């Protein structure tokens, strides 16, 4: 099939490359010309595991252009994958989506053959109907079908998530659903050669396909993210309670997760969720509910818990150090999670701001995110790519993003490098054997003074 993807960000680029990999003829189009130039040179502008290798494997089946209009006119299926960031009041900004749709309609205006326009961006219920109305206002509705095909990939594992999805959702008319079933046929049947770096998970024979109406597809995406965010806020509330009563949240998460009705995933307590999706999508769903006359109380609590959770670390650090003023604090990790360079809604930014406000001298390290972070960090925050230098003579280290380099550094090495061995773990991720070298503070667990210091 001939497919054009409008928007070559984390979602559009991964989708375009994976569709080309499974055999489609793909054009990836974006208004950002420098991104397109980079991609034409074979460079992937984002840090995403396996994407450069996948691109190299696609050969002539994929090309890149800034001519979005022409690209839309050349396809049987156009996929919209532009950003829908949060506006101040929580509603998603749909201006990029509508602008992209106008360009697509321009591109297909003179085309005789029908076009399926598939929206992959996360959007409020009813947006698909608005896209259909835009086509109708051009007098071309009989040649245009609108579908919703929400995306569930995670950054850091976007390629395997796309090749081996937990489900594919196709919202729209039976004809649109059938076209999406054909588009994703090789994924649904797992009928493609897996790339060497992302082998097929054992036991995966086929992928569930949900053929639903447009509105259910649109709302289902928000429901999935809100539910996952709810699990995180729940375990973080348990962690805060554990801190007060002296219980251990990791043990509680283990007990909870072994019940198959609950599941083990997304019960990692810490500094709360960040990233380009959960914060904006929970607020968007809350806003959608509000404008539909429904007070989604549970979601209000999920959002509120997350808003405060990142500051739990600051309190722990303050009590460990006595005061933050003049203390050298090393921030380990800036991106919102490991294996991505994405700084959108990264908790590190709020934590650093709070530490600076209390007079701390902050020095931040990240193995991948420094370039993106520098533009967002206050001038007073120091940064370095050298981890040893970041830790040298530190009064305390704060683990914000659980990059492997921090988990493999070793408790003893932390202790030797730092002035004081105070380690605040915002992800409860440091290996247990390393903790005893340090004055270790996790979230929702008893503080562990280092053996040497307590004697
Ligand atoms: N990032 C994720 O992990 C993820 C996962 C699932 C769903 N989503 C949703 O997918 C959508 C895209 O997210 P993303 O993270 O890929 O965004 P992104 O910001 O990484 O990329 C969006 C791209 O769209 C381009 N663009 C904007 N307006 C355009 C236009 N009119 N024409 C052509 N290109 C245009 C931008 O230049 C940019 O390259 C959002 O709605 C998001 O909520 C994201
Ligand atoms: O037990 C957990 C799991 C995650 N997180 C945090 O939650 C955030 C989101 O993590 P994750 O879901 O792994 O990353 P995303 O790439 O943001 O992916 C989410 O958001 C995407 C965009 O909508 C969806 O497509 C994915 O299905 C959904 O997992 C990160 O800050 C994590 O640190 C926790 O604090 N505890």
- Name the closest-CA residue to atom 17, ligand 1: 83
Q: Is 41 annotated as a binding residue?
A: no
170 pocket-lining for ligand 2 (C-beta < 6 Å) = no
- Is 180 annotated in some ligand binding site? no
Question: How many C-beta neighbours within 10 Å does residue 365 have?
Answer: 27
CATH 1.10.1040.10 fits 221-309, yes or no: yes
C-alpha 232 chain-centroid distance = 14
Any ligand 2 atom below 6 A from CB of 155: yes
Q: Residue 122 contacts by C-beta under 8 Å, 6 or more apart in sequence?
A: 84, 92, 150, 151, 221, 222, 225, 277, 281, 284
Q: How far is the CA of 175 from the centre of ligand 1 (A)?
A: 26
What are the domain boundaries of the chain?
2-212, 221-309, 312-454
Quick one: how far is CA 165 from the chain centroid? Answer: 15
Ligand 2 atom nearest to 337, measured from its CA:
33
Cα 83 to ligand 1 centroid, rounded to whole Å: 3
Over 70: is that where the pLDDT of 455 sits? Answer: no
Can you give the pLDDT at residue 451?
Answer: 65
Residue with tokens 């090749």: 163
18-62 residue pLDDT tens: 999 999 999 999 999 999 999 999 999 999 999 999 999 999 999
Range 312-454 has CATH code 3.40.50.720: yes
Half-sphere exposure of 197 toward its Cβ, with a 13 Å CA cutoff? Answer: 13
Ligand nearest to the Cα of 94, by number = 1
pLDDT of residue 349: 98
Contact 67, 27 (CB under 8 A): no
Beta bridge partners of 28: 5, 64
C-beta of residue 191 within 8 angstroms of C-beta of residue 21: no
User: Is the sign of the CA dihedral 113, 103, 96, 294 positive or negative?
Assistant: negative
Closest residue to atom 15 of ligand 1, CA basis:
10
CA 154 / ligand 2 centre spacing (Å): 7
The band of 449, judged by pLDDT with boundaries at 50, 70 and 90, is confident
For residue 221, say whether it is annotated as part of any ligand binding site: yes
The answer on pLDDT for 9 being more than 90 is yes
Q: Is 30 marked as a binding-site residue?
A: yes
Q: Is 284 in the pocket of ligand 1 (CB under 6 A)?
A: no
Our answer on whether the CB atom of 277 is closer than 6 Å to any ligand 1 atom is: yes
Distance 274 CA to ligand 2 centre (A): 7
Dump pLDDT digits (tens) for 51-93.
Answer: 999 999 999 999 999 999 999 999 999 999 999 999 988 999 9
Residue corresponding to tokens 């005789």: 112
Helix axes 95-108, 127-137, angle to 10 degrees: 40
pLDDT tens digit sequence for 250-292: 999 999 999 999 999 999 999 999 999 999 999 999 999 999 9
Q: How does pLDDT run across 193-227, given as a tens digit for each residue?
A: 999 999 999 988 889 999 999 999 999 999 999 99
Is 266 labeled as ligand-binding?
yes
Q: Which atom of ligand 2 is nearest to the CA of 154?
A: 16
Give the per-residue pLDDT at 331: 98
Residue to substitute in 4, 6, 8, 9 for testing ligand 1 pocket (most ligand atoms within 8 angstroms of CB): 9
Counting ligands in written order, the one closest to the CA of 81 is 1
The Cα 142–Cα 348 span in angstroms is 49
* Ligand 2 near 267 CB (within 6 A): yes
Predicted confidence (pLDDT) per residue in 340-398, tens digit: 999 999 999 999 999 999 999 999 999 999 999 999 999 999 999 999 999 999 999 99
Mention every residue, 6+ apart, whose C-beta is less than 8 A from residue 385.
Answer: 365, 367, 370
Residue 349: count of CB within 10 angstroms of its CB: 21
**Predicted local confidence at residue 219, as pLDDT:** 98
Domains 2-212 and 312-454 fall in the same CATH topology: yes
The closest residue, in CA terms, to atom 21 on ligand 1 is: 9
Q: What is the pLDDT of residues 333-343, one digit of tens each?
A: 999 999 999 99
State the distance from the centre of ligand 1 to the C-alpha of 120, rounded, in angstroms: 9
356 in a labelled binding site = no
Quick check: CB of 278 below 6 Å from ligand 2?
Answer: yes
Annotated binding residue 267: yes
Nearest ligand to the C-alpha atom of residue 226: 2
Q: What angle do CA 116, 61, 48 make, to 5 degrees?
A: 90
Looking at the predicted structure, is the pLDDT value of residue 6 above 90?
A: yes
Ligand with an atom nearest the CA of residue 372? 1
pLDDT of residue 41: 95
Average pLDDT, whole number, for the chain?
A: 96
Q: Determine the atom of ligand 2 nearest the C-alpha atom of 427.
A: 35
pTM comes to 0.97
Torsion over CA: 73, 78, 82, 86 (sign)? positive
Quick check: 3 and 25 in contact, CB under 8 A? yes
The verdict on the CB of residue 317 being under 6 Å from ligand 1 is: no
What percentage of the chain reaches a pLDDT higher than 90? 96
Q: Specify the 3-state DSSP secondary structure of 326.
A: coil
Between the two ends of the chain, the Cα-to-Cα distance in Å is 70
- CB 152 less than 6 A from any atom of ligand 2: yes
For residue 453, pLDDT beyond 70: no
Q: Which CATH superfamily is domain 2-212 in?
A: NAD(P)-binding Rossmann-like Domain (3.40.50.720)
pLDDT at 111 over 80: yes
pLDDT per residue as tens digits for the range 153-198: 999 999 999 999 999 999 999 999 999 999 999 999 999 999 999 9
Q: Is the pLDDT of residue 319 over 70?
A: yes
Q: Is 12 in the pocket of ligand 1 (CB under 6 A)?
A: yes
Residue 58 annotated in active site: no
Task: Decide whether any atom of ligand 2 lies within 6 Å of the 125 Cβ.
Answer: no
Residue 450 in this model has a pLDDT that exceeds 90: no
Instruction: Tell me how crowded residue 30 is: count the other CB atoms within 10 A of its CB.
Output: 25
Q: Which ligand 1 atom is nearest residue 158's CA?
A: 3
If phi over 0 gives left and psi between -120 and 50 gives alpha, with beta otherwise, what is residue 359?
A: left
């Amino acid at each position: 099939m001939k497919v054009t993807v409008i928007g070559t960000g984390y979602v559009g680029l991964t989708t375009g490359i994976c569709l080309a990999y499974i055999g489609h003829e793909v054009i990836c189009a974006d208004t950002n010309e420098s991104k397109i130039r980079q991609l034409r040179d074979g460079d992937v502008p984002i840090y995403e595991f396996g994407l450069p290798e996948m691109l190299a494997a696609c050969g002539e089946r994929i090309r890149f252009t800034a001519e979005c209009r022409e690209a839309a006119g050349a396809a049987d299926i156009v996929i919209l994958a532009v950003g829908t960031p949060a506006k101040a009041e929580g509603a998603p900004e749909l201006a990029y989506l509508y602008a992209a749709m106008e360009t697509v309609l321009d591109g297909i205006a003179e085309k005789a053959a029908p076009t399926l326009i598939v929206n992959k961006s996360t959007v409020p219920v009813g947006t698909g109907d608005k896209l259909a109305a835009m086509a109708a206002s051009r007098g071309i509705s009989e040649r245009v079908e609108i579908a919703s095909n929400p995306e569930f990939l995670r950054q850091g594992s976007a390629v395997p998530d796309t090749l081996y999805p937990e489900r594919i959702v196709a919202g729209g008319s039976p004809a649109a659903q059938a076209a999406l079933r054909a588009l994703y046929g090789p994924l649904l049947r797992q009928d493609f050669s897996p790339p060497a770096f992302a082998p097929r998970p054992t036991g995966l024979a086929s992928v569930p396909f949900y053929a639903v109406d447009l509105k259910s597809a649109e709302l289902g995406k928000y429901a999935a993210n809100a539910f996952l965010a709810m699990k995180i806020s729940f375990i973080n509330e348990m962690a805060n309670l554990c801190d007060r009563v002296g219980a251990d949240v990791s043990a509680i998460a283990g007990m909870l997760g072994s019940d198959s009705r609950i599941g083990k995933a997304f019960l990692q307590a810490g500094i709360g969720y960040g990233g380009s999706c959960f914060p904006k999508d929970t607020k968007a769903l809350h806003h959608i509910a509000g404008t539909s006359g429904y007070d989604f109380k549970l979601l209000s609590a999920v959002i509120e818990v997350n808003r405060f959770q990142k500051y739990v670390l600051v309190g722990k650090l303050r009590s460990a150090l006595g005061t933050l003023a003049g203390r050298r604090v090393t921030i380990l990790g800036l991106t919102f999670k490991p294996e991505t360079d994405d700084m959108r809604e990264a908790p590190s930014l709020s934590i650093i701001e709070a530490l600076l406000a209390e007079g701390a001298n902050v020095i931040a390290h990240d193995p991948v995110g420094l370039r993106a972070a520098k533009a967002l960090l206050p001038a007073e925050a120091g940064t370095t790519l050298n981890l040893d230098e970041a830790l040298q003579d530190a009064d305390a280290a704060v683990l914000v993003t659980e990059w492997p380099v921090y988990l493999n550094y070793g408790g003893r090495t932390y202790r030797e490098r730092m002035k004081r061995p105070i380690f605040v773990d915002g992800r409860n991720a440091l290996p247990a054997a390393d903790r005893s070298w340090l004055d270790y503070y996790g979230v929702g667990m008893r503080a562990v003074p280092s053996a040497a210091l307590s004697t």
